[in-house]
Amino acid sequence: MLKRLIYLVSIILLLSCPLNGQQFVDVKAELQGISEGSARWIDSDRDGDLDVLLMGERFKGQTRGISTHIYRNLRNDKFARYAPGIPDLHRGDFDVADFNLDGIEDIAVMGEKPDGTLIATIYRGIGNGQYQPTSIPFTPARDGSIRFGDFDGDGDQDILIAGEAKSGLITQIYRNDRNNTFVLIDAGLRGIKRGIAIWYDYNLDGYPDVFVTGADQRGSPFSMLYENTNSSFVALNTGIVPLKHSFAATGDFDNDGDLDILVIGESTNNSITTRLYRNNRSQGFSRIVVPFVSVRSGFADWGDFDGDGDVDLLISGESAKGPVSKIYKNNRLSGFSELNENVTGLYMSTGQWGDYDQDGDLDILIAGLTYDFQYHTKVYRNDLPLVATTIAGKEEVYEDIFNNSVVVPERAGPTYYYLYSSSYTKLEGAKEKAYYLFISPVKKPRKQFEMEDVYNQMIRKKYPEWSQIDQGNIVAIGKPSMAEGVSSRQRIIDEYSGKSFKVIEINW
């Protein structure tokens, strides 16, 4: 008993240490400070490490500027700025994906140019860190978002865009019909500004649904989940709070196999709020009361910064006491704990987790305005030693570390998985390029990423050129039973076959 007590105390001390020391270090990356825009990691030069794309407004003294630049990762905490061929934008957003299936990532952008012109289009990646304009016209807009996602399951990336256009507020979906052709579909989504529209497959049916939050045409807060039925988008009454100056981030905080959702923003009574909703699938959503800082005009991102197998939270924005940026560690059954980290407090902020130094843990990219209106873009290196934690047996007692927080019990999620990926490429021995679907069998993995490792080994052995054609676009689908997994897998095969994809089964 004494030995067990000493063991438990040791574990508690070990796990509590990161809460008191500074684990995230400002590397003084000397990136241009921006606000009213977007900052994200991107491997623009395809060298295997993460570069930084910055888009937004900046001030130096009394001089205002608007810029879009990429900072190439030179490693050893050094970055070099260059112009990627994308116009200078602010009040906008961008996203990255391979829309034309040529194996090189492209960039979708929306926002406002320095002369006030609105834009929304795609810039095609040419593989050397530069991007070329396309003639693809989406509805030009600002103060919103743009996202890639395959809503119709045909293997290519469609577009979801929201914001303020000259004709009014929009939230629109464009179907990718390939050959640089996108078709606007009648999705019936309410237009918003000062918010975001994201793809969100809340019910795990393989068809991305859409979540929209922001100010509607009347300036009122709005939040809505639209279910993708594969023939239309249907508004669902989820009870998620209507918000403006808002943002939404999805992540499986309770490790039950589906994506939960966190929203930030300003509610109907002008109060600032941050709310976490647990995804109960067909049973709707339930609010989990955790004392995250309430913010608006900012962002949130889920990521496992400490490598313990659950997602933690990075959050930033304007609170009732001014700009803040905070990190919350996910302690599973005992809630979340705030780390004592001196990440610069920002609002009108943007950012993301990402492993820029390739040491196996997640670092921080963050940009925005300070309380004294200084523009910042910072990279914080994660120097936290990765600790393998053990969940103790029933003799241990967990104590909720926050007043009024809800202890969330674990529950069974999907246990049977299959993987698939698609590409437009010329395989070795083939006469010409073709569309391919690569798909695995349904398996019950023993550990996380086991199937991905085997899938990559098998496919690389059979197709040595895989590293050039895949670009990491592997989709994992999980189901509660083998029968459901087999049925779901067959549906994917049927849909891709119906669109003239050649199906290649990667069996083991």
pLDDT at position 421: 81
Q: Phi/psi at 168 (nearest 5 deg)?
A: 130, -165
> What parts of the chain have a pLDDT lower than 50?
1-20, 387-412, 470-472
What the block records as the tokens of 334 is 């005992």
Q: Phi/psi at 282 (nearest 5 deg)?
A: -65, -15
pLDDT at position 174: 98
106-112, strands of its sheet edge to edge: 90-97, 106-112, 118-125, 131-133
pLDDT at position 65: 95
Mapped onto helix, strand or coil, the DSSP state of residue 83 is: coil
What the block records as the tokens of 280 is 């109960």
* Burial class of residue 63 in the structure, from the number of CB atoms within 10 Å of its CB (0-12 exposed, 13-18 middle, 19+ buried): exposed
Tens of pLDDT, residues 351-400: 999 999 999 999 999 999 999 999 999 999 999 875 433 323 333 332 33
Q: Is the distance from CB of 46 to CB of 24 less than 8 angstroms?
A: no
Gap between the Cα atoms of 132 and 147, Å rounded: 19
Q: Is the distance from CB of 147 to CB of 162 less than 8 angstroms?
A: no
What is the pTM for the complete model shown?
0.76
Gap between the Cα atoms of 275 and 266, Å rounded: 11
Mapped onto helix, strand or coil, the DSSP state of residue 451 is: helix
Residue 71, strand partner residues: 52, 81
Tens of pLDDT, residues 295-342: 999 999 999 999 999 999 999 999 999 999 999 999 988 899 999 999
Gap between the Cα atoms of 180 and 183, Å rounded: 10
* Helix (H) and strand (E) counts in the chain: 4, 32
**Contacting residues for 369 by C-beta, under 8 A, at least 6 apart:** 35, 323, 346, 347, 348, 349, 375, 376
DSSP assignment letter at 233: E
pLDDT at position 59: 83
CA gyration radius, the chain: 23
